Amino acid sequence: MQSTMSRRALLTTMAAGASSVIMAACGGAVPIPSPAATVATSTSSGTTPSTQRRPGGTIRTGILGDLPGLDGHLQLQTNSQSIAFAYDTLVGYDEQLTPLPMLAESWDVSSDLKTLKLNLRKGVQYHDGREFTSDDVKWNLLRVRDPKLAGVAGFFANQSNWFTGIEAPDKNTVVLTSDQPRVGVFDFLFAFNMLDKNTMEGPDAKTTVNGTGPFVFQEWVQGDHVGLTKNKNYWRSGVPYLDGMHVGIFKDSQSMMASLEAGAIDVADAPPIPDIVRLKSNPSYQTIVTTSAGTYYVIIANVQVAPTGNKLFRQGINYAINRKRFADAVLQGLAGAPQDLPYPPQAPAYDAPRNGRYTFDLDKARSLVAQSGVSNTDLEIVFSNTSFGIENTQMTQILASDLATIGVNLTLRPVDFATQFDTAVKRTYAGLLMSAGSNANLADSTTPLISNKFWNPDVSQNFTGLDDPEYTRLVAAAASEPDAARRKELYGQIEDIILDQSAVMVLSLFPRAAMARSNVQALTLVPRASYPTVWMA
């Protein structure tokens, strides 16, 4: 095991996606930032947080759309802003994507990047009092491979399958071995919640949550709220400051924002773009917006039904998407320039020339649709009218108008978020589906392709039904390539297939945002770091 290079050098190398040692913080724990050292991210308005932190209080947050379920391996926005705070992961990331210890307090990596030893934190307990051990890590890794759980836990199946060996030599040590180097291992571990086996295999698996995280699950009243209380035995001394969280579930963004302005909630997650613009200078609120969080808008196509089963037809649709109008008029410039690929500029796979391949060109779109030979050009687009409902509605209306000029009849089908997710999982949409993806900013640019269902190379798990052997081969090759220059070449080949197939059509980066009342202190958009250190002035 390698143990001589400085931790800072190793972590900097990993964050940059360089070709030397990528995965390790060796020879001891990297300290987690203390609560006293945690500060709020820059906001466009609002007060400057005081350094005097006051414990207590229940924060009232708002999310758009209900949770499809309580499974902690389900990776969705509604879940990540509610029950995810009842869980911990093995590692964390800071804003610079430097890995930080969580349930793994340190780690060692072999020089060939094929073996990772995790040294677990001692004395951590699940909320029911049971000790967290290496057996729990092994169980979680094996659980997500179960094909019966593909629609829920299958987000992580490909990454779990990296490891041909999962050993627990003692209760505080896990050794993972792979037959290939695993560049994206920390991308995986920072997102992978540690569930409790007894709970998930018991009679209450669908109605309760049991984790090791900073907040303890109390209840989920479907369509109304999720309640959590402070974990008084949390392994991180001094946090959380809050006594609890009340996560209100809203059916639409208008009612969520009305509740924020009326003082009924303290934080609105994913506020509508018009409200961000309207309130960003109001000192009563603080607005946090970033396009570097690796989130992006997509339209996906069901390639197993007509007419979207025809590649030329899909390419025609891709040319008919007015990305600039979407970025300028709908997102009001907050997402930056439109682009055809999911990666923000700091991502290893970012490629400016490829990003501009599908310029808005209705003549070319019309020609490709004609070449496709498709006779019935009726199709629908399914989208959420809860999560990001205003933006989704405006964009689909623009698309329908443009498609009508080339002879394609697009029917809009707005549904609630849970229905949209179920429709995508079962692949029951007749044509197109609008959604949003994540993780495109991480150290390994295959992470969003593996972890987001619409990019997944496995046809049994993806939302599009695309089965492309060359795409599958290239994603696997890039995920195991330790050399950054070679990996960049593979990313380019992958992107060429993505653009050619047009099964997933990126619209723009997604401006990740939250809006809070001015008494909320230290709110950030950093995963896992937000509400444990938030306090109320």
pLDDT(185) > 70: yes
Do the Cβ atoms of 358 and 321 come closer than 8 Å? yes
State how far the Cα of 344 lies from the Cα of 337, in Å rounded to an integer.
11
State how far the Cα of 491 lies from the Cα of 113, in Å rounded to an integer.
20
3-state secondary structure 24-40: CCCCCCCCCCCHHHCCC
Q: How is residue 67 written in tokens?
A: 């949770």
Q: How far apart are the first and last CA of the chain?
A: 47
Say if domain 296-510 classifies as CATH 3.10.105.10: yes
pLDDT(1) > 90: no
Distances, alpha carbon 191 to alpha carbons 257, 356, 442, 505, in Å: 29, 31, 11, 25
Q: How is residue 150 written in tokens?
A: 């593909």
Pairing of strands 99-101, 91-93: antiparallel
Do the Cβ atoms of 359 and 49 come closer than 8 Å? no
| Reported pTM | 0.80
pLDDT band for position 531 (cuts 50, 70, 90): confident
State how far the Cα of 410 lies from the Cα of 427, in Å rounded to an integer.
18
Mean pLDDT of the 211-217 span? 98
Output the pLDDT for position 151: 78
Residue 50 DSSP one-character state: P
Please give the share of the chain, as a percent, with pLDDT higher than 90. 75
State how far the Cα of 22 lies from the Cα of 26, in Å rounded to an integer.
12
Distances, alpha carbon 273 to alpha carbons 284, 331, 390, 445, 515, in Å: 18, 6, 8, 28, 11
Do the Cβ atoms of 228 and 247 come closer than 8 Å? yes
Q: How is residue 398 written in tokens?
A: 């623009």
Q: In 272-307, which positions are buried (b, 16+ CB within 10 angstroms) versus exposed (e)? A: bbebbeebbeeeebbbbbbbebbbbbbbbbbbeebb
Mean pLDDT of the 184-211 span? 95
Give per-residue pLDDT as tens, 447-468.
999 888 899 999 988 999 999 9
- At 104, the amino acid letter reads A
Output the pLDDT for position 526: 72
As beta bridge partners, residue 515 has 268, 287
Q: Where exactly are the structural domains of the chain?
A: 296-510
Q: How is residue 315 written in tokens?
A: 């390419």
Kindly tell me the sign of the dihedral angle through the C-alpha atoms of 253, 254, 257, 263: negative
Q: How is residue 199 written in tokens?
A: 């709970």
Give per-residue pLDDT as tens, 474-530.
999 999 999 999 999 999 999 999 999 999 999 999 898 999 999 999 998 876 667
**Residue 501 — φ and ψ, nearest 5°?**
-70, -35
513: helix, strand or coil: strand
pLDDT band for position 20 (cuts 50, 70, 90): very low
Count of alpha carbons within 13 Å of 328, Cβ hemisphere only? 4
Give per-residue pLDDT as tens, 128-162.
999 999 999 999 999 999 999 887 877 799 899 99
State how far the Cα of 106 lies from the Cα of 172, in Å rounded to an integer.
11
